[in-house]
Structure 1
Amino acid sequence: MRTGADRPAGAVKGAAVDDASSALVAAAPARQLAAADVYAALDTSRRGLAPAQAAKRLQEYGPNELPRTRRRAVWRDVATQFTDLFAVVLLVACAITFLAYGLQQPRDAGTLQLAVAILAVVVLNAAIGFAQEYSAERTAQALAAMVPHACRVLRGGERLEVPARDLVPGDVVVLEAGDAVSADCRVVEAHELTVDNAPLTGESNPVGRTAEPVPAGPALEARNGIFMGTDVVAGSGRAVVVATGASTEFGRIYRLAAAAPRQKTPLQHQVAVMARRVAGAALAIGALMFVVRLPTGESVLPSFVFALGVMVALVPEGLPATLSVSLAIGVRRMARRQALIKQLLAVEALGSTTVVCTDKTGTLTQAEMTVTRVWADGVVDEVSGVGYAPQGEVADAAAVRELLRVAGLCCDARLVAPAGPREHWRVLGDTTEGALLVVAAKAGLDLGAEAAATPRVTEFPFDSDRKLMTTVHRTTTGHQACVKGAPMELMARCTDMEREGRQEPLTGRHRAQAVAASDELAAQGLRVLAVARREVGGPRPAQQEAESGLTLLGLVGMLDPPRAEVTEAVAACRGAGIRIVMVTGDHPLTGEAVARRVGIVRRSDPVVVTGARLDAMSDEELDALLAEPSELLLCRVSPEHKMRVVTAFQRRGEVVAVTGDGANDAPALKHADIGVAMGAGGTDVAREAAAMVLLDDSFASIATAVRLGRAVYQNIRKFLVYLFSHNIGELVPILAATFAGFPLVPITAVQILAIDLGSDVLPALALGAEPPEPDVMDRPPRSPRERLFSAAVTGRILFLGGIQAACVTGVFFWHVVASGIPFDDFTRDTPVYREAITMVQAGIVLSQFFNALAVRTERQSILKVGLLSNPALLAAGGFGVALMAAISYLPPFQAVFHTAALDAADWAVLTALGTLPLLADEIRKAWLRRRDARRKGAPR
């Protein structure tokens, strides 16, 4: 009878998993058992499961696939667009206006027009927001897509190829180089089996697997385990499935990614606060106007409609649409710079980023092992070129030709040339061996011809105990053993070395020189291999003979090289006040070496923290660590560690961007304020979990995106000043008319909507397209706590809006009083009244045209920037003026807006008054420049 600890782990019945960790615990005994005992523990045999037994387990445990998350219905996404506070306020106003129209006796067509106009605004905003932001979550589907579709198993002693979804615990899987792993398995046979665990652990180097038992510990550290989503890069073997579906390590990461909430961006928080305040102010002032109008003897219903008009005047109806489309402009700009933004608000979040937690492999580096140095006879030869493309050269190729020939013959990997213009050079097999093949080609060696001239006759594969690989080749004079491996282990078997083409005894001094060279290469973050050879007596020598009495040829140092553009990008981020923290699953020494090369580490004492140390830290200790202004490297970390670090940074008020390319990065990418995935070399799950995808996999694109993101935020503040300043121009005339006892409003709600949507939206969008200012990356990141409506922004709104309000209020009362008609005799159909409200609307439109020019810069004169340098703004302003002319002159528009035709003198007066905001703001900017010059003691 099997106990719970011995039962195979897999997806529970019905493919539902209550606790994946219990499955991992159940699999632990298999890791600790001898290979021969694993079959019995998992109720299987060397011949595999019987077909009937496999079918029964498939029914019991469910298919080997990840559960699909339900996509939210489209109607819910549409409905969300109507939950914005501005939308709610306008919908309530719309409903009340419709009700007022129904209660009026006689009914006023103007009230109906107002209700329909408000409803149209809400629907338009919702349509734009939905079109711009609709992006369904597909993380679960992407994870499932990474699982291979078929695999080879033994069923009843027969080798079969079955769909990956049909794998069950207890299946015996047959593994060969190039296979994708379909489930979590315990290796029971390993013949130089090597796997790439990078999608799960982030390690850049393939790792060897063994069939021997291992002690208890973390699942991913078990050397006899292989895991779903990884790949076999070399060797062969067999393994028994211990976990399938959501119970796998891959499934655990899926659960983390699915559970990680999307974080609200700083702009979302700021817009929410702004919406509450503006809506509250609109409701309060509308209520005040209702109370003020009642004592004048006006009936309740007209007073209520009047109050609604005031409220509509204060609500920036065009802001949601303007914000969405402006962010979309930023998205298109970034796409041209190889940065694909999936969520609009992520554009602005980039601009406020304070910390970047960056992965190493594939993000800072090429993810292609490259030989950079070759040591032979006391001399280090530099090797140029990076990656698998055999482009570059060895400094002294003749001196190291024999070393590289022997190293290249002692390889099982294969270098594959690109088959098309969009493909790249790639390696089939171990990436370390691939690097040796590339450096041999750079030295001018034709390894194909060498292999044909000296065919391999036998080999002794690499294993973790010897740390060597040996191949035996037939030569024209006999047989030769070619050996490569770890420097210390190989040099211990050497008795001679090659010097200047001659074989000489390996003296103590020469041995110490070789050891020192190996240590120096390793200290530079290089992976070091030693290469040797010897003549053997026949085609099948004993392993002891082939691997002793060797002649040392030299050392080869290789690394996963940093991308050429990363150093400059890191420097740009530092200059912008952004802290960069490397978070990698790789070895600390490797991580620190890369960090130094790209400029993340510049001091002699960086803080290097491993995942084991993070596990021992409390949240308070972690917070204290992150608060230190040190250069921080986090190595050997798991997906849980990454999420914990991101959360800790966010707890401190930081805006965190996370980069990554593997499935292990997905939870942190989703949980970050801005997740940045690699588009070309990354995994599907990383791309789906991220808010931004770098199409060129270049860290440098992050610096460019930050620059554009900061410009987006600046431009948002520009068009906020533009949009809200005219609200003052709309409200003040209404308040003045109320307190002056004028019975009608100086501007109607329908006219206000025409200004907000017809004349203001396009110029606001043109302001959102302003290019970044030259010094945008020389400033520190803005604080997440900085208000969107800062004192400076609010002051500028009041300054420009106050000038507009004074002008249009003066124009209205000048026109009304000059007519000589008593206030009480005015009606909606009085020609003078219609002319006056037309002048108010036209005055606001014209002043907004010049206001748009004023807000393009904060302190720089518009004359220096150039009046014509933003043609889109001029065209948008011209459209607004043309629309206003149509409203003034065309009878259909006159009927809707209750306007009248203006003469040339009216337009001349309004144009002159409209320039006042621009002139006043130029004077303000000149005063600010003069003040700053005095403070700095510099000439103006």
Structure 2
Amino acid sequence: MGTGIPVLTSGDGGRRPATPGGTHGPAVQTLPTGDVFTALNTSLRGLTSAEVAARRNRFGPNELPPAGRTGLWRDLAGQFTDLFAVVLLVASAITFLAYSLQDPHEAGTLQLAVAILGVVVLNAAIGFAQEYSAERTAQSLQAMVPHTCRVLRDGERQELPARDLVPGDVVVLEAGDAVSADCRLTEAHEVSVNNAALTGESDAVGRTGEPVAAGPVLQARNCVFMGTDVVAGSGKAVVFATGAATEFGRIFRLAAAAPRQKTPLQRQVALMARRVAGTALAIGAALFAVRLPTGQPFVETFVFALGVMVALVPEGLPATLSVSLAIGVRRMARRHALVKQLLAVEALGSTTVVCTDKTGTLTRAEMTVVQVWAGGVSHAVSGVGYAPVGEVADPGPGRELLHAAGLCCNARLVPPPGGTSRAVRPREIDAGGRLQSDREGWRVLGDTTEGALLVAAAKAGLDLAAEEAAAPRVAEYPFDSARKLMSTVHKTSDGYSAYVKGAPQELLARCTTIDWRGERQPLTDELRAAVTTANDKLASQGLRVLAAASRPLADSRAVRDEVESGLTFLGLAGMLDPPRPEVSDAVDACRRAGIRIVMVTGDHPLTAEAVARRVGIVRQPAPVVLTGTRLDTLDDDDLDALLAASGELLLCRVSPEHKMRVVTTLQRSGEVVAVTGDGANDAPALKHADIGVAMGASGTDVAREAAVMVLLDDSFASIAVAVRLGRSVYQNIRRFLVYVFSSNIGELVPIVAATFAGFPLVPITAVQILAIDLGSDVLPALALGAEPPEPDVMDRPPRSRRERLFSTAVMRRILFLGGIQALGVTAVFFWHIHASGIPYSDFTEDDPVYREAITMVQAGIVLSQFFNALAVRTDRQSVFRIGLLSNPWLIAAGCFGITLMAAISYLPPLQALFNTAPLDAADWAVLAGFGALLLSAEETRKWWLRRRRPTSAKGEGG
């Protein structure tokens, strides 16, 4: 481009080139139509092929840059950087080192090293596979930006891929089109656009081809933007920005720059891994220091310390955690919620605040007439959305109103593919049926308000297609913002009739008579007051109200002032964008769960409050309504205080920057914030939130990319379901942590006791510990991870962001259950050793008594863990009340562990690998008795908790 390229003023007061790489000049929205073509180096005939090729090389394709994704190998390598993986890799390396120092080399040590390394690989494979699968599914969602557009090139109208647009292209726009780039209108015939994807405002806004004053580009009434929709009218426009240079692209860049927040579970697991690693290293080093001066060989002492470290590291925990989260992912997927990151499953369970968008999230994004007021009587209209299913109560008095309003419309009601309807206008399909297959379901092509009137007319039994055929339109006076009316003239069998619709007060002022209780009467002051009262009543319910009127004409050539005067007032139609039917129950569930819901929308405060009241977000008489303009006047301290208040809060007319500031402020005060949305304007806040939830069916690419969870059915109710499942996941994680770490205490204490008792060998070897952790503990832990949510899980307040995964209550429960196991297996070991009468110094690894003793320790832990799994299924409730067999997978997993233990005890190949010996029936009975004692002790503890605090709703461990 040459010099003098116009620039646009961005929303933050800065300036950006109207075309990428251009120089600064006057803002393109301020230029007269003819100067726009000159400034953008184009013409009414559009660009030539040579110019298009040059500009494509200069500006690139008209598409958003691909998200910065890491390669598959880097994603896989990232699975090995988790601290638990690092701990296991270190343990494996130490085991390999111990094997190299042994003389002679022991095959068992090598097998242990390989096994630990295999665990790391397995954990990484599971985590990578789960996240890769979810990410690929997310990428398969349909793009919002349209694939084709109509362009003038070389003076000819062509339909081209949207990615081929370049600055200077002249595009042709019609009702129903999606805008493919940022454009300056040069012709506008009653054009209205829906900017919800950018601004969050659901109302259609009028556009003009005339120059406007300089200012923020999004407020320029002669510009249309990528990702928005033309809902009415037609026109032509010149492209001034494509791809990343568009307003859509600006928000994309803002979202890309926002850092991804770690979930609470990520922080807790990282903290747990650091503590486990530190504890294992410290205890292993301490016991090595205690044992070495006793005269034990260095390598044997080192292997002994390694066994202690292995005992403290829950090798199967990462895999268990990943698979447990994956179970939550699959459960959510069955409820149409796609989770792109496993840890995001749990994050919803800790949510304290949900910042929700309105249009398309709480509402159906389908205007619907719900009340018709005619002849002094209000008539309810049933059914929601654009499907003409429902009825008008006592439709007779309102039929003339809907007849006039329906004929005075340019919108078209489009049925599903293959569908028909008496409400569809004759010219409902463009040539070739291009829009017919865009998506299933009834749609409105044109202004959604007019579409709602068409649907209401069908519900009243009117066949508008037949009516229009009988009374064809011969003239039209389009709507404009000055007079707030639209009029059409139709030829009838009696001559000509005018039908007018528009703002009630404007239309009422032009009426002289009224259709009142089936008769035409003079419009007296008393009747005017009745109409005004009815209008105010509908408006107070948050409805958008339109009025309709008619009059006979002697001649079709009547001027507009004659057409729109001396009218007969027919009535009022009240409409709204109806809330989704399932939202109210979901909001109630979130309230019971102690979750605060804040509506954050770009819409008008009155509209936002009306919707919020309908779905239950607002119940108080005077909620706090904060606009973006007011938000700009608040400093951080004032905003902190406002958001910290416990009252109901609505944020309206806000920008993407406002949304992100609100999310940041809430997080700074310790809240765990979930953000829902579907538009590009929601993307920065979605990414910055603790968990971003995007809409899959109606959401934009930018929003879906920024979010970690996508609702494939766009249902807000899935939020409440996800919170319930997320809380259940966290409960289950705590359960299997108690289960796994109590086992580790049972493995560690006998080793420590043997050290201080001067016994030269370990009561349980590292290979045996690995067999317990991976062979006997993993499957029951997974079964615990599949426990369904407790009935009262949504009646508890959210846990604090600062609450530790290993809370005091959890640690008490681990020590209680692990202590019982440890005392049992330690007593069994030393009882068996002492009963033999052999001095400690005479024991060797091949001694049959020693092999029987370590076999009893391993079997004792396995049997105790079977009873432990039953004990930890509930926090306070008796396991006998929910039923011992109510989780059959847990019983099956426990039986598998016991069977594996029996095989290790009796099968010669496994005896050689684990250095074990066969146990007799009396040994098994003693060990089973210790396990039953553990379950009895835990049941007694729960009984005591229920008796001491009968109304407590504490978490794990009470």
TM-score by length of 2: 0.93
2:85 to 60, 84, 87: 87
Give distance in 2, aligned partners of 1:718 and 1:822. Answer: 42
Q: 2:204 maps to which residue?
A: 206
Q: 1:832 maps to which residue?
A: 849
Q: Superposed, which structure 2 residues align to 1:10-25 within 5 Å?
A: none
Q: Superposed, which structure 2 residues align to 1:448-527 within 5 Å?
A: 448-527=465-544
Q: 1:447 maps to which residue?
A: 464
Give distance in 2, aligned partners of 1:443 and 1:770. Answer: 52
Q: 1:14 maps to which residue?
A: none
Shift of 1:687: 3.1
**1:877 to 2:894 alignment:** yes
Q: 1:579 maps to which residue?
A: 596
DSSP-derived class of the 1:160 partner = strand
Asked whether the 8 Å contact 1:65–1:144 carries over to 2, the reply is: no
Shift of 1:587: 0.9
Shift of 1:573: 0.9
2:296 to 298, 302, 307: 298
Shift of 1:713: 0.9
Asked whether the 8 Å contact 2:5–2:18 carries over to 1, the reply is: no
Q: Superposed, which structure 2 residues align to 1:423-438 within 5 Å?
A: 423-438=440-455
CA deviation map 1:867-893 (0-9, x unaligned): 111111111100000000001111111
Shift of 1:25: 10
Give distance in 1, aligned partners of 2:177 and 2:800. Answer: 49
Give distance in 2, aligned partners of 1:142 and 1:493. Answer: 54
Which 10-residue stretch deviates more, 651-660 or 195-204? 195-204
Give the gaps of 5 or more residues in structure 2.
420-438, 954-958
Shift of 1:420: 6.1
Q: 1:37 maps to which residue?
A: 35
Asked whether the 8 Å contact 1:363–1:678 carries over to 2, the reply is: yes
DSSP-derived class of the 2:397 partner = coil
Give distance in 2, aligned partners of 1:398 and 1:145. Answer: 45
Asked whether the 8 Å contact 1:153–1:173 carries over to 2, the reply is: yes
1:694 to 711, 715, 732: 711
Asked whether the 8 Å contact 1:9–1:24 carries over to 2, the reply is: no
Asked whether the 8 Å contact 1:8–1:242 carries over to 2, the reply is: no
DSSP-derived class of the 1:169 partner = coil
2:389 to 382, 388, 391: 391
DSSP-derived class of the 1:844 partner = helix
CA deviation map 1:657-699 (0-9, x unaligned): 1111222222222221122222333334333332222233222
Distance change in 2, residues 1:442/1:136 (3 Å): closer
CA deviation map 1:133-168 (0-9, x unaligned): 336868997899433333222334333333322322
CA RMSD across the alignment: 2.4
The residue identity in structure 2 corresponding to 1:197 is N
Distance change in 2, residues 1:582/1:259 (3 Å): same
Give distance in 2, aligned partners of 1:68 and 1:139. Answer: 16
Give the gaps of 5 or more residues in structure 1.
11-16
Asked whether the 8 Å contact 1:140–1:254 carries over to 2, the reply is: no
Asked whether the 8 Å contact 1:495–1:550 carries over to 2, the reply is: yes
Asked whether the 8 Å contact 1:493–1:548 carries over to 2, the reply is: yes
DSSP-derived class of the 1:915 partner = helix
Shift of 1:381: 1.4
Q: 2:337 maps to which residue?
A: 339
Shift of 1:274: 0.7
Give distance in 1, aligned partners of 2:543 and 2:528. Answer: 20
CA deviation map 1:306-347 (0-9, x unaligned): 111110100011111111111111222222333332221111
The residue identity in structure 2 corresponding to 1:698 is S
Q: 2:271 maps to which residue?
A: 273
Q: 2:830 maps to which residue?
A: 813
Asked whether the 8 Å contact 1:715–1:769 carries over to 2, the reply is: yes
**1:534 to 2:551 alignment:** yes
Q: Superposed, which structure 2 residues align to 1:376-415 within 5 Å?
A: 376-415=374-413
Shift of 1:36: 3.3
Identity of aligned residues (%): 75
**1:744 to 2:742 alignment:** no
Distance change in 2, residues 1:25/1:441 (3 Å): farther
The residue identity in structure 2 corresponding to 1:150 is T
Which 10-residue stretch deviates more, 507-516 or 879-888? 507-516
2:217 to 219, 237, 241: 219
Which 10-residue stretch deviates more, 1-10 or 741-750? 1-10
The residue identity in structure 2 corresponding to 1:844 is I
Give distance in 2, aligned partners of 1:593 and 1:307. Answer: 67
Q: Superposed, which structure 2 residues align to 1:139-218 within 5 Å?
A: 145-218=143-216
DSSP-derived class of the 2:172 partner = strand
The residue identity in structure 1 corresponding to 2:269 is V
Q: Superposed, which structure 2 residues align to 1:676-691 within 5 Å?
A: 676-691=693-708
Give distance in 2, aligned partners of 1:570 and 1:143. Answer: 27
Shift of 1:8: 8.9
Give distance in 2, aligned partners of 1:897 and 1:922. Answer: 34
**1:928 to 2:926 alignment:** no
**1:598 to 2:618 alignment:** no
Shift of 1:9: 11
The residue identity in structure 1 corresponding to 2:334 is R
**1:322 to 2:311 alignment:** no
Distance change in 2, residues 1:558/1:935 (3 Å): closer
CA deviation map 1:158-203 (0-9, x unaligned): 3333332232222222211222211101112110111121221222
The residue identity in structure 2 corresponding to 1:47 is R
Q: 1:849 maps to which residue?
A: 866
Shift of 1:504: 2.4
Q: 1:639 maps to which residue?
A: 656
Give distance in 1, aligned partners of 2:137 and 2:255. Answer: 8
Asked whether the 8 Å contact 1:721–1:796 carries over to 2, the reply is: yes
Asked whether the 8 Å contact 1:661–1:681 carries over to 2, the reply is: yes
Distance change in 2, residues 1:599/1:914 (3 Å): same
Distance change in 2, residues 1:9/1:247 (3 Å): farther
Q: 1:240 maps to which residue?
A: 238
Give distance in 2, aligned partners of 1:74 and 1:338. Answer: 26
Q: 2:436 maps to which residue?
A: none
DSSP-derived class of the 2:379 partner = strand
Q: 1:13 maps to which residue?
A: none
Give distance in 1, aligned partners of 2:412 and 2:459. Answer: 15
DSSP-derived class of the 1:132 partner = helix
Distance change in 2, residues 1:666/1:7 (3 Å): closer
DSSP-derived class of the 1:375 partner = strand
Distance change in 2, residues 1:43/1:470 (3 Å): same
Asked whether the 8 Å contact 1:8–1:170 carries over to 2, the reply is: no
Asked whether the 8 Å contact 2:198–2:680 carries over to 1, the reply is: yes
The residue identity in structure 1 corresponding to 2:240 is V
Which 10-residue stretch deviates more, 247-256 or 140-149? 140-149
DSSP-derived class of the 2:396 partner = coil
TM-score by length of 1: 0.95
DSSP-derived class of the 2:728 partner = helix
Asked whether the 8 Å contact 2:93–2:113 carries over to 1, the reply is: yes
Shift of 1:476: 0.5
Give distance in 2, aligned partners of 1:4 and 1:608. Answer: 44
Q: Superposed, which structure 2 residues align to 1:65-76 within 5 Å?
A: 65-76=63-74
Asked whether the 8 Å contact 2:542–2:607 carries over to 1, the reply is: yes
Asked whether the 8 Å contact 1:369–1:561 carries over to 2, the reply is: yes
The residue identity in structure 1 corresponding to 2:395 is A
Q: 1:63 maps to which residue?
A: 61
Distance change in 2, residues 1:921/1:21 (3 Å): farther
Give distance in 1, aligned partners of 2:64 and 2:694. Answer: 22
Give distance in 2, aligned partners of 1:318 and 1:249. Answer: 49
Give distance in 1, aligned partners of 2:49 and 2:938. Answer: 83
Shift of 1:626: 0.7
Give distance in 1, aligned partners of 2:31 and 2:16. Answer: 27
DSSP-derived class of the 1:582 partner = strand
Shift of 1:64: 1.8
